[in-house]
Amino acid sequence: MQVASIVGARPQFVKLAPVHAELSKMATHLIIHTGQHYDSVMSADFFQDLNIPSPIVNLGVGSGSHAEQTGRIMERLEPELLKMRPDWVVVYGDTNSTIAAALTAVKLDLRVAHVEAGLRSRNRRMPEEHNRVLTDHASDLCLAPTSNAMENLRSEGLGSQSRLVGDVMVDVLRQTASKLQIPQDYADRKISASYLATIHRQENTDNRDRLSAILTALNSLDKKVNLLAHPRLWARMGDFSLLAERFKNIAFTKPLPYLNLIESLAFAPGLVTDSGGLQKEAFLLGVPCVTLRTETEWIETVNLGWNTLAEPEPAIITAFLSSRDRPPPVESPYGVGDSARQIAHALLDHS
Ligand code: UD1
């Protein structure tokens, strides 16, 4: 069996790592990088950190509008897939690389499997929501991380081609936490003085008032904030003349490679974010999280008391992060860390 994984953006490299480890035991697994993310802190460092082999090709599409980026990926990917004609094309998550690769593959009559299928925010203003809905409906095999995601797929008529496999991010997080010897119990960790924060979503960064309100809120929290600044955040702060020096409570630093990120998160007193993956990683590590969005695809983290959706209001953020009144994180709705193995077997079963 020959399988081609198409990836391009930071969270996809994390998901690819355990899938590659399992797939390479039973198939020829080739990796194509679209080049959506190209800075080494956003791309190459992840391959190195997570032991992922170099892609056989990098399409070098870089940045652009949604249509430019998606269109360029499709044009450049088509000849590669034509040469290769793999038994499966695997796509991950909800980025422009995901939808572009899925569309290119199905139009060449290649079978597509979608890792992290079935997530929904119901917010049609998010580019990722269109990417994930369209990718699921184009795919031959939808690999769902949670029973909520399975339910979404069923309700859209995709039940027969969907499988509940758990979340690959649990696989990679467990391996990493054990490698870093992070004490499982939060009480046994020496907690740092600063909250961790990340902000990168278009809806938070691309409107000056919203971005200013978020930075002002982080600047007024009860503890210092270590803000890992995505390139989009830097760019918009520059565009809107929101000078970093004005926010004395915030230490603006570069995005971290995966291992350092997990270590910083595990020892943080709390997380403020708009990232999808980090909400879940915080939950799995037992770190409270405030999500600066109006909805989340990872609703289990909220229902189990470890995450809350909030406006950028310092009092609300501080109250949630400093509360000790939350249930122990016993139930894992995301599987037991064998998701990549299940995905590899699902591909084999259907080949
Ligand atoms: C993309 C995904 C988002 C995911 C995120 C993870 C889409 C629609 N969005 O958002 O779902 O959560 O990746 O990080 O696909 N840039 C750099 N260097 C890089 C990459 C990007 O400077 O290596 C700059 C670009 O010039 C652009 C901005 O960052 O201005 C946004 O990059 P883009 O890939 O379009 O989207 P992300 O915000 O990273």
CA of 350 to the centre of ligand 1 (A): 33
Q: Report the nearest atom of ligand 1 relative to the CA of 200.
A: 38
Quote the CA–CA distance of 17 and 149 in Å, as a whole number. 22
Q: Report the nearest atom of ligand 1 relative to the CA of 95.
A: 15
The pLDDT of residue 324 is above 90: no
- CA-wise closest residue to 175 among 55, 25, 339: 339
Q: Report the nearest atom of ligand 1 relative to the CA of 69.
A: 35
Q: What is the pLDDT of residues 222-246, one digit of tens each?
A: 999 999 999 999 999 999 999 999 9
Nearest CA to ligand 1 atom 20: 37
Nearest CA to ligand 1 atom 9: 95
- CA-wise closest residue to 167 among 181, 187, 148, 182: 148
Q: Using DSSP bridges, classify how beta strands 141-144 and 162-164 pair: parallel, antiparallel or unpaired.
A: parallel
* Predicted pLDDT of residue 329: 72
The pLDDT of residue 321 is above 90: yes
The pLDDT of residue 330 is above 80: no
Contacts of 42 (CB under 8 A, 6+ apart): 9, 10, 231, 255
Q: Which residues line ligand 1 (CB under 6 A)?
A: 9-11, 36-39, 42, 63, 94-96, 127-128, 200, 230-232, 235
The runs of H, that is alpha helices, within 64-184 are 66-84, 96-107, 127-138, 147-155, 168-179
Quote the CA–CA distance of 155 and 130 in Å, as a whole number. 17
Higher-scoring residue by pLDDT: 123, 328: 123
CA of 330 to the centre of ligand 1 (A): 34
The pLDDT of residue 138 is above 80: yes
* Predicted pLDDT of residue 273: 98
Q: Write out the catalytic residue numbers.
A: 200
Edge-to-edge strand list for the sheet holding 162-164: 57-58, 28-33, 2-7, 88-92, 112-115, 141-144, 162-164
Confidence label for 351 from pLDDT (cuts 50, 70 and 90): confident
Q: What DSSP state is assigned to residue 267?
A: T
Q: Report the nearest atom of ligand 1 relative to the CA of 66.
A: 8
Judged on CB neighbours under 10 Å (0-12, 13-18, 19+), 54 is exposed
Q: What is the pLDDT of residues 67-101, one digit of tens each?
A: 999 999 999 999 999 999 999 999 999 999 999 99
Give this prediction's pTM. 0.96
Nearest CA to ligand 1 atom 6: 10
- CA-wise closest residue to 93 among 123, 66, 133: 133
Q: What is the pLDDT of residues 150-180, one digit of tens each?
A: 999 999 999 999 999 999 999 999 999 999 9
* Predicted pLDDT of residue 31: 98
| Count of CB atoms situated within 10 Å of the CB of 330 | 6
The pLDDT of residue 51 is above 90: yes
* Predicted pLDDT of residue 187: 87
Determine the residue of 200, 292, 296 to mutate for testing ligand 1's pocket, defined as the one with the most ligand atoms within 8 A of the Cβ atom.
Answer: 200
* Predicted pLDDT of residue 151: 98
